[in-house]
Amino acid sequence: MKPSIIISWIAQLVAVVIMGQSLYFKFTAHPASVAIFTDIGMEPYGRILIGVIELIACLLLLRSSSAHYGALLGLGTMAGAVVGHFTQIGWDGERGELGILALVVLASCAIVLYIRRMDLPFISHALKESEKG
Amino acid sequence: MSAKIAIDLHKLAKTVNIAIPTLAVLFFLAGWKLSFYFHFGTVTFILLTLLNLFYTRIQSGHTLLRNFGIMGQARYMMESIGPELRQYFFANDTEERPFDRNARSEVYRKAKNIDSAASFGSQNEFDETEIKIRHSMYPVLHSEQVPFSLTFGEERGIENAYTVKRPFIISAMSYGALGEHAVRALARGARQAGIPMNTGEGGHPKYHLMEGCDLIFQLGTAKFGARNEDGTLDDSKLAALASQDSIKMVEIKLSQGAKPGKGGLLPKEKITDEIAELRGVSKDKDVLSPPFHPECVGPQNTVSFIKRVQDLTKLPVGIKLCLGRPAQFEELVVEMLTQNIFPDWITVDGAEGGTGAAPKAFIDGVGMPLYPALKLVNDILTKHGVRDRLKLLASGKLISPEKQMVALCLGADAIYSARGFMLALGCIQALQCGNNTCPIGITTHDPELQRGLDIAVKSTRVVNYVDNLEHDLEELLSAAGCRSTRELSYDHLFVPVGANLGAMPPQSSSTSSSSSSSIFA
């Protein structure tokens, strides 16, 4: 296995573990989670919706043939989370920790996406052409 | 010019490129002040903005993307599904290549045992260049027909002469070119239909052997399965292969219709560990066979090589070639006469032939098409009085009975087909044979794609196809007033002046010593 693929797998697992454990709080309606989603006006459906999206991202990240799609989905969701922290959620106490975790997942997904960029449909062709030159 | 109501694609692209980041900002504001749900849009448009920046500012391989960004991508996206759209909606039933929908559907119907009667006339253009069969005023009853039988090697009186009872042979397709499921479905079908199958030049025919059908082992120019390190023939390996019960004949491939003058090509996308082992090659680069056998560099040693393989294998041995310069072929025949050594058959492969991957210039532009080549070969053999010393096989798009009938009239004793049988397996002509992405799992080693190809079901299709071809051929034979295929001759054909058979101008044959006596000089 190429070193870059090993790095990708580490990043995938980091993203899956962090997103995965947050699902438990989302799906069991943990008070902290409910509080955050109440703050941004998405409780309860938004909480479930985001949970489902993250679950799909986790599952996609666990197969090498679909990891790039999982990373894309994870990247999008975490970008949303970071936007939330900067606008409505804030960074106080536990929320700051959650925000840092979101940034970690965002970075992990970006790494996976970069390493597996040639798997992406359409974009990979443009990448190939420019990397050749 | 009614330019005012036309869409200006340039302006549209520029507008879109401005709209994407603008929308990202607007969605952000809406997500912040109205509802967090708007941030789904924020994220999407931020990503699109980044992508667009990459296209227009960073990459430089594609001009359209650099000038127009994501909108330029639309062209590539739509172009990429063009072949499918054309096949589904826009191409008419007689214009696709290499096989139009009518021709393909005919094979599907035969393979699925569906009646293929049509009404209201032919869809072909009844112009004046199409070769037709001339029927007799006095057709022969089916009961009067003589069953087909063809014995290879009978001319030499060898012990292992091999008899086929039906005029069809599955043409050379290696494991490597085809996946395991396809090879096994064809081999099982061949066994059930009682016809032989050519192994192709894929080395030890592991999967062909699994189903117990009669096999013709093909010795390609790289001699996979029977090669020394330097690419010459390893006598003991070939003898060992030939001693296998299932291997009934050996075919030396001199050249091939898909790429006459070039050797075989197996793209590296399709080379698995197993294939590399069966062929004895590396899996990191395309496998290229040499364009000719190192043993065969002129008529004399080509004929000697045929003799060597005949002596070694004690089986009927044929040669396969795509006709290039007829004068060179005539030289070869003269040499056969001189040495009194003949192959047990000659396969004439038309330049239109080819399951194989090949450079486009060779697929499109090199070699003689089947009909004129077959006629020339038959004429040359007849002229030298040696037509009865060997059998003649024909291959090259012979997937329908009327085409096969024409080949039989032009001198063929039996018919080789590869793509006909691939279509019987369900090939949809996706043209991906070289990419390992065949959507029906025939020319791929991807287990997920092969999963859909059920060996038991598809082998029955092969049998049905053979049964129905034979039925149609018998009907055509009756109509032509013949009791067996041996009675067919050039006289049974209507060959218009514009047909390619009529378009063979005299050719100079500067390389030939016997040019003065050449029938086409």
Q: Answer whether residue B106 is part of any domain.
A: no
| Cβ separation B47–A76 shorter than 8 A | yes
Q: Which of B36, B51, B61 sits opposite A41 (nearest CB)?
A: B36
**B438 token code pair:** 């065949």
pLDDT value, residue A38 = 93
Q: What percent of chain B has pLDDT over 90?
A: 68
CA distance B181 to B451: 8
Write down the mean pLDDT value for chain B: 90
- Chain A residues with CB under 8 Å of a chain B CB are 40-42, 46, 75-77, 79-80, 83-84, 87-88, 122-123, 125-130, 132-133
pLDDT in tens, A20-59: 999 999 999 999 999 999 999 998 999 999 999 999 999 9
The answer to whether B366 and B354 are in contact (CB under 8 A) is no
Residue B235 has pLDDT above 70, yes or no: yes
Buried b / exposed e over B279-294, threshold 16 CB at 10 Å, is bebeeeeebebeeebe
Token pair 């986790």 in the structure block, residue: A58
Terminal Cα-to-Cα distance of chain B (whole angstroms): 60
| Cβ separation A42–B47 shorter than 8 A | no
Tell me, yes or no, whether B152 and B51 share the same domain: no
**B467: Cβ–Cβ under 8 A, 6 or more apart, which residues?**
B193
Q: Answer whether residue B353 is part of any domain.
A: yes
Q: Which of B43, B51, B61 sits opposite A80 (nearest CB)?
A: B43
Q: For B14-19, what is the mean pLDDT?
A: 94
| Cβ separation B43–A126 shorter than 8 A | no
| Cβ separation A83–B42 shorter than 8 A | yes
More confident position, B112 or B497: B112
Q: Answer whether residue B109 is part of any domain.
A: no
Q: DSSP character for B425?
A: T
Q: Answer whether residue B135 is part of any domain.
A: no
| Cβ separation B61–A42 shorter than 8 A | no
CA distance B360 to B434: 12
pLDDT in tens, B346-355: 999 999 877 7
Measured between beta carbons, the chain A residues lying within 8 angstroms of B449 are none
Tell me, yes or no, whether B71 and B176 share the same domain: no
Preceding amide of A3 cis, omega within 30: no
pLDDT band at B498 (very low <50, low <70, confident <90, very high): confident
More confident position, B5 or B476: B476
Output the DSSP codes for B11-27. Answer: HHHHHHHHHHHHHHHHH
Q: For B12-39, what is the mean pLDDT?
A: 94
pLDDT band at B515 (very low <50, low <70, confident <90, very high): very low
Output the DSSP codes for B244-268. Answer: STTEEEEEEES--TTSTTS--EE-G
Q: Name the residue ranges covered by the structural domains of chain A.
A: 3-132
**B17 token code pair:** 């490129």
CA distances from B75 to B7, B26, B62 (A): 15, 28, 12
Q: Which of A40, A83, A133 sits opposite B61 (nearest CB)?
A: A133
Handedness of CA B194, B411, B344, B208 (dihedral sign): negative
Using CB atoms and an 8 Å cut-off, which of residues 68-127 of chain B contact chain A?
73, 76-77
| Cβ separation B46–A79 shorter than 8 A | yes
Q: Answer whether residue B94 is part of any domain.
A: no
Residue B458 has pLDDT above 90, yes or no: yes
Tell me, yes or no, whether B17 and B162 share the same domain: no
Residue B509 has pLDDT above 50, yes or no: no
CATH number at residue B446: 3.20.20.70
Q: Answer whether residue B28 is part of any domain.
A: yes
Measured between beta carbons, the chain B residues lying within 8 angstroms of A126 are 54-55, 59, 61-62, 65
| Alpha carbon of A41: minimum distance to chain B alpha carbons (Å) | 7
Q: Answer whether residue B104 is part of any domain.
A: no
Q: What number is the ipTM of this complex?
A: 0.93
Residue A1 has pLDDT above 80, yes or no: no
- β-pairing, B247-253 vs B317-321, is parallel
Measured between beta carbons, the chain A residues lying within 8 angstroms of B46 are 79
More confident position, B259 or A83: A83
pLDDT in tens, B55-104: 999 888 889 899 999 988 888 888 888 888 988 898 888 888 899 999 99
Q: Answer whether residue B37 is part of any domain.
A: yes
Tell me, yes or no, whether B483 and B400 share the same domain: yes
Domain count across chain B: 2
- Could you give the angle at which helices A3-27 and A67-84 cross, rounded to 10 degrees? 50
Helix (H, G, I), strand (E, B) or coil at B157: coil
Residue B512 has pLDDT above 60, yes or no: no
Q: Which of B29, B59, B80 is the last residue of a domain?
A: B80
What is the span of the domain harbouring residue B264?
147-517
